[in-house]
Amino acid sequence: MSEKVILSDDEWRARLTPEQYRITRQSGTERAFSGAFWNQKAAGAYVCVGCGQALFMSDTKYDSGSGWPSFTAPVDPGSVSVVTDRSMSMERTEVRCARCEGHLGHVFEDGPQPSGMRYCINSASLTFEPRDDQAPPTP
The total of other beta-carbon atoms located within 10 Å of residue 66's CB is 15
The residues that bridge with 126 in the sheet, in sequence order, are: 48
Is 30 in contact with 123 (CB distance < 8 Å)? Answer: yes
Catalytic residue among 48, 51, 100, 120: 120
Residues near 74 by beta carbon (within 8 Å), at least 6 away in sequence: 55, 56, 80, 119
3-state class of 104 per DSSP? strand
Does the annotation count 97 as an active-site position? no
Characterise 95 by phi-psi region: left (phi > 0), alpha (psi -120 to 50), beta (else): beta
Could you give phi then psi for residue 21, rounded to 5 degrees? -65, -45
Which residues are catalytically annotated?
A: 120
